[in-house]
Amino acid sequence: MSGGRDRVRVARARLGGEATRDPAAELRQTSSRTVQLGRVQPQAPSHRTIYCNDREANTPVGFKGNSVSTTKYNILTFLPKGLFEQFRRVANLYFLMISILSTTPISPVHPITNVVPLSLVLLVSLIKEAFEDWKRFQNDKAINSTPVDVLQGEKWESIPWKKLQVGDLVRIKQDGFFPADLLFLASTNPDGVCYIETANLDGETNLKIRKALEKTWDYVLPGKASEFRGEVQCEQPNNSLYTFTGNLILEKQTLPLSPNQLLLRGCSLRNTEYIVGAVIFAGHETKVMMNSMNVPSKRSTLERKLDKLILALFAFLFIMCLIGAIGSGVFINRKYYYLGLSGDVENQFNPDNRFVVTILTMFTLITLYSTIIPISLYVSIEMIKFIQSTQFINKDLLMYHSESNTPALARTSNLNEELGQVEYIFSDKTGTLTRNLMEFFKCSIGGEIYGTGITEIERGGAQRNGLKVDEVKRSATAVHEKGFNFDDARIMRGAWRNERDPEACKEFFRCLAICHTVLPEGDESPEKITYQAASPDEAALVTAAKKFGFFFYRRTPTTVMVRESHVEKMGKIQDVAYEILNVLEFNSTRKRQSVVCRYPNGRLILYCKGADTVIYERLAGGNQDVRRLTREHLEQFGSAGLRTLCLAYRELSNELYESWNQKFIQAKSSLREREKKLDEVAEMIEKDLILIGCTAIEDKLQEGVPACIETLSKAGIKIWVLTGDKMETAINIAYACNLINNGMKQFIISSETDKIREVEDRGDPVEIAHTIRESVNQELKRCLEEAHHYLYSISGPKLALIIDGKCLMYALDPSLRVDLLNLSLNCSSVVCCRVSPLQKAQVTSLVKKGARKITLSIGDGANDVSMIQAAHVGVGISGLEGMQAVMASDFAIAQFRFLTDLLLVHGRWSYLRLCKVILYFFYKNLTFTLTQFWFTFQTGFSGQRFYDDWFQSLYNVIFTALPVIILGLFDKDVSASLSKKYPQLYKEGIRNMFFKWRVVAVWAFFSFYQSLVFYYFTTAASRKGQNSSGKIFGLWDVSTMAFTCVVVTVNLRLLMACNSITRWHYISIAGSILAWFLFIFIYSGVMTPYDRQENIFFVIYVLMSTFFFYLTLFLVPIFALFGDFLYQGIQRWFFPYDYQVVQEMHKDDAEDNSRMELLEIGNHLTPDEARSYAISQLPRETSKHTGFAFDSPGYESFFASQQGVVAPQKAWDVARRASMRSRAPQRPPRT
């Protein structure tokens, strides 16, 4: 152990490359520390030191083990933590307080009344939490027990992952997963390379190459590996997946480490027999575990409005209790001798202290009226949302993409109803609106344009302008394969040698073949080889080089092999090895990639490709014609909707390269700000470039995008496109998508003006910033004035705003933000070009917070994650750019066009259903509580209960629980096909038509009315009533009668709220009423001592022996529901909602054609898919529309139309149909 400690001490002295320290520096450093009570506070070290293959030396540091746990609870914390989570909900906390109050002497109800429903709700919630956590625990257990080979002595021993420690040497075999973050030491492949798949990390299935340091290549076999005693100094654990800085000290030599030597936990080994690595970060300190942050918690707008409704109920509860408490203080008097208040009485009924009576009665009434807050509401809503997500959204075949075998996925069930209220959609372009299947289409070399095809965008633009586009005949040399769709005989098959500038062509093709990070796979023949690339663009460019005769077929860590054709002379083929000296990688800041390579003849050259703005800034002087022509070609390509890249090169001298390479190695070895230093060093050599030309790649629109955008626009949804592409490309894509058309007034705010260009040429950053800011300010004000002018005109055009990233940066400034928001909110479409990921999120937040509108962001790449998380609802496209967007999203779909079904069908239905569920809960609890409130006026405000304790306990959790869940799952106002046929129906959700305070007030009014009917009808009717033995009815007879009427009526009222009725509705409602009768038969049939149950003993049997019971049970629900019946009839006839109009228009539709389409799809399903499909189509029932007073049996709901069942016409339907303008075609009269 002492040796290990000495090594720790030595390493700490040596960290950062200093063997000795300056005493003055030591003193300065000490003085800057925080000193308290004579002790130096420990500082968190900025780096860690790891001793490879030496557990003893690592023990004092106390690195974390490799066992991981993703569970929320353990045996000890489950109950306290689980209960804490539940009591964070206001309603649950309120019921806990009520339950505590009900145990005190002032409570009129037994504690069981409140404890039972609270316990049931908590039990259901805790069982759900426990089940989910148990699944996580089982998953953790399986992962932690996975075996891995670890070096112990001079042989490999298999141990479980959880026993791994930092510093251990491990062996990972082909297709195995890395158990921790490993330093890659050696591989069975030559030159110390291995191939890894990062699908678990970012969803990308293309292989990545990793290369070990040359010094460690030999440590493959256990005998040699046991000699390895390296020391790693590296950064502390962090969540950055793509960066790593560290040094390996081996045999007194410091070697810089980069992400190229790091193998991350969760990735898997491919195409390599096995590798040897050292554990750097373990367990929860691995990068993937540090990234496993929860997606930001989002609550739906409806849920926040529900909180306001609950607060309103609290306020109403307080008012009821205050009225009762004051009434009690006023009423209490000794003159009511029959109450026995003359002697010593308890404080609550002591007439001598009316204030205490008032206060105590207040608490009494709070417990008595506690049922006004629906305790089971949250559990019911959670259950409904969960089933909606898993059974309806996830299993909808119309959102299933068969080509990629990808169904829709609801990653959270919290936001289902939010999908029904979206007003703004923010969309990425590439991979979201387009397919992200890149094809090399055109190019410009040395100022000459090549390629003869016409893009979809050009064709769409011509059709808009009324021009006819003739199909271009393809030449004999035309080639179309994955990644390449090019036709121009001038440069195919070696014909480029005859062009005006063959040298430029040669450099162009070599740049395509060499400047990339693509990995070739398979046979080394042009037909069979496949390319694994970081992006589809990269693969398309290398495929183009192959087709032009520069076939890249092999890569080693230091060389790129290219099979060149027709270079020396026509028909000659030669294999050339280019030595790769440095790779300056692409990132979103640099927007370019460079490779320094050495030709076989010793020529040193730097090839660079990147965005036109970046390359043009770094060009050498001269050659103005090529620069001007290429810029024109770039604009032409952009107008055709093509993605462009500029290609350039620079000749390097040996002296220049050597001096630069020293700085590059120094920057690469730096432990601090390595990325920044590497960028600075790259700037030194990426200058004085010579422009070769540019490439143009076509990314076709996804299927159905224009139709989808048109439908969503009709639904009142405004769509914004946020893209990194050039303005011309973005505008043309917007035209092709029907986002912009010629009838729109377009406001364009661009930094590409003559005035701004002049200032940029002078190069003063302060002047540039001031000029752009002023320009943006003036443009915003001008556009805003114009917009107001158009808006106030009677038939003004729709407005569209197009703004680029530079201008947007200044427009988002707090002083200009308001103008930008006002202008953009008045526009139907907005296109933001050249925007960064951060700007995407800022624009989304601007509308979300500034306009308080419900927003949805949709994207498919890592650059869309911040935008997806910033919006109310985030949708990820599971496409070709990995799964980062999906992992950060709330919902995942495979194609943009599926948004139509997700929003107009599932979103709209979820919103309608949940509005009804919440309002129905509010209605049934208010009705029940008000009957108790009216009784208080006849009991001298004493707090006497009207209902038995168990009635009150089970009212919410059994007698009225199931029907409302069925309503939340199966209610449909119009079918899915009609929802899409009439997208304008969606506007009712945007305007929140079904959860306004006006709607709540209507339900509240009928609650008051019905509670008065229940209470006064039953009490008045029973005053002279008597049972078979001649006794008059007592309190418990009347209350049982009233409760029976309440249960029957509120369940029947639910039927009136339904738009479509299935057998599940009938079963649940009949079952709930039956459950009440079964309960009361059993409960009143037995006598239990020591409680208050004797009040109800035999009550129901006495009641049911009288005619009064049956007459009341028949008449009271009719009188109670008559008001609703009348209101719904008048509302539907004279003030119909949009969906009710659509119902009337299609009430005679015999069959919904979408059913046939679904069946055709269903015929080709696997058994599992068929089962999923069958579940998603439940309930398959004939239904009748009865959601209004005057029944319209001719209308068939979605379920009935699926079955093709037509209900017969009724006599009373004729009168109303005669008043409708559009009539069904009449049959010819019989003769």
- Active centre residues (catalytic): 428
State the residue for tokens 């309190």.
1035
The structure tokens listed for 594 are 């460079």
Long-range contacts of 635-638 (CB under 8 A, 24+ apart): 635/728, 636/449, 637/442, 637/444, 637/694, 637/696, 638/725, 638/726, 638/727, 638/728, 638/729, 638/732
How many C-beta atoms lie closer than 10 Å to residue 1225's C-beta? 6
How many C-beta atoms lie closer than 10 Å to residue 40's C-beta? 10
State the residue for tokens 């004797």.
1094
Q: What is the DSSP string of 683-711?
A: HHHS-SBEEEEEEEEEEEEPTTHHHHHHH
Report how far residue 206's alpha carbon sits from residue 204's, in angstroms, rounded to the nearest whole number.
Answer: 6
Which one, of 860, 879, 851, 1008, lies nearest residue 423 by Cα?
851
Helix, strand, or coil (residue 263): strand
Alpha helices in 278-376, H assignment, sequence order: 287-290, 301-331, 354-368
State the residue for tokens 């055109």.
442
Report how far residue 562's alpha carbon sits from residue 584's, in angstroms, rounded to the nearest whole number.
Answer: 20
State the residue for tokens 């038939």.
795
- Helix or strand run (H / E) with residue 249: strand 246-250
- The CA distances from residue 642 to 513, 591, 700, 783, in Å, are 21, 17, 9, 29
Cβ neighbours for 1143, distance < 8 A, ≥ 6 positions apart = 973, 974, 1059, 1185, 1192, 1195
- Which value, to the nearest 10 degrees, does the dihedral of the CA atoms of residues 406, 408, 409, 410 take? 170
The structure tokens listed for 984 are 């304008």
End-to-end Cα spacing for the chain: 112
Which one, of 973, 1120, 972, 1155, lies nearest residue 1044 by Cα?
1120
Report how far residue 134's alpha carbon sits from residue 67's, in angstroms, rounded to the nearest whole number.
Answer: 17
Cis preceding-peptide flag for 1179 (omega within 30 of 0): yes
Report how far residue 85's alpha carbon sits from residue 101's, in angstroms, rounded to the nearest whole number.
Answer: 22
Residue type, 317: L
Which one, of 637, 708, 236, lies nearest residue 454 by Cα?
637
CA atoms within 13 A on the CB side of 138: 6
Q: Are 130 and 240 in contact (CB under 8 A)?
A: no
The residues that bridge with 159 in the sheet, in sequence order, are 148
Helix, strand, or coil (residue 394): coil
State the residue for tokens 């190459």.
209
**456-464 and 727-736 are packed helices; what angle lies between their axes, rounded to 10 degrees?**
70
Q: Are 416 and 410 in contact (CB under 8 A)?
A: yes
Which one, of 33, 108, 28, lies nearest residue 948 by Cα?
108
- Helix or strand run (H / E) with residue 789: helix 765-792
Q: Provide the greatest CA pair distance for the chain.
A: 125
Query: For 986-1010, what is the HEC assignment?
Result: HHHHHCCCCCCHHHHHHHHHHHHHH
Backbone φ and ψ of 605, nearest 5°: -145, 145
Q: What is the CA radius of gyration of the chain?
A: 38
Looking only at the bridges linking them, the beta strands covering 799-804 and 745-749 are parallel
